[in-house]
Structure 1
Amino acid sequence: MCNCSGRIVRATAGRDKGELFFVTGQEGEFLLLANGKGRTMAAPKRKKPRHVAWLDQGDFRHPAVEKLQQGITVSDRELRRALAAFKEGNTLGER
């Protein structure tokens, strides 16, 4: 599989359908997802890649994204702020 840490995805299946997450790593065939709120870095959600939609981040740069890509530990607060900044910059066709 790919090195996808730092990518933003939307869950397309399960009880968390429609929520945004950061990919924080991989475990076998599963992606590890966290959003800093319901799913923290300490307890990430395991999800198969076919159950997420990969979002186009365009030129979205945030220190939390860069840390994840480099393999540096990120706090849940940083994840929440990065997702909030991403949502402000992209309407994502929601409400």
Structure 2
Amino acid sequence: MYDYTGWIVEAAAGRDKGGVFCVVGVDQERSMLLLADGKRRKVANPKVKKLGHVLPLTDMEHPFDHPTIQGLKRGTPLSDRALRRALAAFKEGNTLGER
């Protein structure tokens, strides 16, 4: 499975539908994404979702260039506060209705 770590996604199914999350890891065995937003879902206890239940807001062609996300891709430990700030910066720069 491809490494989606660092992608910003929107939940398309479940009780968190419409929520914006960052992919903090990938469960290779079950082909699931580990999602966190730093508030409801902490980095220490990420949400597990199937790939088909999220809509990518960033990808390889259009990455979100933020120091926190770059650190996550390199394997640097991530704090919930830093993740919240990165997602807030993403939301300020992008309108979720326009993709």
Normalising by structure 2, report the TM-score: 0.89
- In structure 2, the gaps of 5 or more residues are none
Q: What is the aligned partner in structure 2 of residue 48 from structure 1? A: 50
Residue equivalent to 2:26: 26
Please show how residues 1-95 of structure 1 align to structure 2 within 5 Å.
1-27=1-27, 28=29, 29-56=31-58, 58=62, 60-93=64-97
Q: TM-score, normalised by structure 1?
A: 0.92
The Cα offsets for residues 1-31 of structure 1, whole Å up to 9 and x where unpaired, read as 1111111000000000000000011112110
Which amino acid in the other structure matches residue 42 of structure 2? T
**Residue 25 of structure 1 aligns to a residue in which SS?**
strand
What is the RMSD computed on CA atoms of the aligned residues? Answer: 1.4
- SS in structure 1 of the partner of residue 24 of structure 2: strand
Counterpart of 1:41 in 2: which secondary structure? coil
Gaps of 5+ in 1: none
Identity of aligned residues (%): 56
Shift of 1:65: 0.5
Following TM superposition, by how much is the alpha carbon of 1:60 offset from its aligned partner in structure 2, in angstroms?
A: 3.0
The whole-number CA distance in structure 1 between the counterparts of 2:63 and 2:42 is 25
Matched residue SS, 1:32: strand
Q: Which runs of 4+ in 1 moved over 2 A?
A: 56-60
